[in-house]
Copies of this chain bind each other. A is one copy, B any other.
Amino acid sequence: MTAQMPPAHPFDDDKLREECGVFGVVGVKDAANFVALGLHALQHRGQEAGGIVSHDPEQGFNSARRFGYVRDNFTKQSLMETLPGPLAIGHVRYSTAGSKGNTAIRDVQPFFGEFSMGGAAIAHNGNLTNANSLRRELIERGSIFQSSSDSECIIHLMARSLQQNVPERIKDALRRVEGAFSVVAMTRTKLIGVRDPLGVRPLVIGRIGEDGWVLSSETCALDIIGAEFIRDVDPGEMVVIEHGLLKSHRPFEPAKPRFCIFEQVYFSRPDSILMGRSVYETRRQIGIELARESAVDADIVCPVPDSGTPAAIGFSHESGIPYGMGIIRNQYMGRTFIEPTEQIRNMGVRLKLNVNRALIKGKRVILVDDSVVRGTTSRKIKDMILDAGAAEVHFRIASPPTAWPCFYGVDTPDRDKLLAARMSEDEMRDYLGVDSLKFISLDGLYRAAGEAEGRSKSCPQFCDACFSGEYPVEPRDMVEKGFQLKAAE
């Protein structure tokens, strides 16, 4: 089934992919319906599968896990009726840790555990960097793992905690794990949210109706249910919502926040607010910075749809070069057509995009894309643009070269598959075969993200490991497996 699923973005196979979105609601009638809507709004964060757990005072805990889109599963009356009650949490996922591409339904979150003081469910966005050693230890002590997901460690650690209530057990558990985690959890009466001390992944708080509260990966999912955005969960904060009241806890050692800068560049939806700033505006500013840093004489600025659009608008605005839709996206994307025997060049790309030939012909074209990962798609797009008769092709990239894998909840190729890990900018330009190729500088990106002074060398304001190779949390499991960290300078 999943094999047939069209990708979220036209070049998913050549993008970094966020692996998860989480959402929870308490204090409304039929909370699961709200969670379904929230997950639908977070679908860009994970398209492989989704799950919802709800609790009803009379019918207890119920859950449903399904492969595929939220809209295809959690819209059926017959299914949603099995998820009653005023409290529910949900999760959409790509696989990161866990068996990639071969996910079993038991890998789909939220995970549920029955403890002696009652049940609890948790949904996790992020990635634990010490999951392997934790798992080994737990198995030795008699825990039985049901999934291949790193997140399952959390629920086993909770099961073994000696604390007498679930929030304390969550603290116990999360103090043992390392890495990035934004967690939404629930008991029979409580909705709980936690962010790791660095706050790598987003998590926000909203209110709905009289007494309702919402936790969500992004604000765009508050909008869909008409909830009011209150604030971010702080890095290192745990919020426990019960009987209409929210209490804040600080279970971890204080640390300097390191929010993921790639959320700004690509993962989050442009209509979300991250750290008090509009994602759309940040991306438009990236385009402005790019135009300043790497101007070029040209006839038209075109986005690579859809993620390059805000930066292309900013670039056009700053440069004065007209904005146009040089590439048209097929709204009914697919990627599994049978290749006809005659040679169709770049067929995979054609299933998703088509060049607007009449607009492009004879023009000097600036193409604005969000990132270059393997470079395979960029080459194909360049081919299509030239086939259509463009006079020149200039690539402008709304992020610095992606040279390092992410271990905090993003699906990245192995380092040797990353174009920027193998080539210099000039080599990449030649490899792609374009007239020019420019990436935004790390400082320019920080400026666009609101840091007027650019990146602090001593204490960067974001996690930018994918660009800089500086990992704010040591990727312990990966180092154990032989991953080479960047040499200290």
Contacts and interface: CB of A to CB of B under 8 A. Distances in A.
Interface stretch (A110-118, A190-198, A394-402, A452-460): A110-118
Given A328-B270, A331-B44, A351-B40, A336 B278 contact: no
B143 A146 contact: no
A8 B332 contact: yes
A238 to B, nearest CB: 22
B155 A144 contact: yes
A225 B340 contact: yes
Interface in A267-286: 269-271, 273, 277-278, 280-281, 284
Interface stretch (A27-35, A374-382, A420-428): A27-35
Contact of A306 (B29, B220, B331): B331
B325 A40 contact: no
B332 A310 contact: no
How many identical chains are in the complex?
A: 4
Interface residues of A, number: 94
Interface in A117-158: 136, 139-140, 142-146, 155-156
Given A40-B351, A356-B280, A80 B142 contact: no
A66 interface: no
A160 B159 CA distance: 14
Interface string A269-307: 111010001101100100000000000000000000010
B270 A356 contact: yes
A77 B317 CA distance: 47
A487 interface: no
Given A159-B142, A351-B224, A334 B29 contact: no
Contacts of A355: 223, 271
Interface string A18-50: 000000000011100110110011011001000
Nearest to A162: B142
A253 interface: no
A75 interface: yes
Given A323-B313, A359-B281, A143 B142 contact: yes
Contacts of A244: none
B340 A29 contact: yes
A313 B322 CA distance: 9
Interface stretch (A177-185, A341-349, A409-417, A431-439): A341-349
A115 B138 CA distance: 10
7 contacts: A142-B161, A225-B340, A273-B357, A273-B358, A277-B358, A281-B358, A323-B323
Interface of A: 4, 6, 8-9, 28-30, 33-34, 36-37, 40-41, 43-44, 47, 69-72, 74-75, 77, 80, 105-106, 113-116, 136, 139-140, 142-146, 155-156, 159-161, 208-209, 212, 220, 223-226, 269-271, 273, 277-278, 280-281, 284, 306, 309-310, 313, 317, 322-325, 328, 330-334, 336-345, 347, 350-351, 354-359
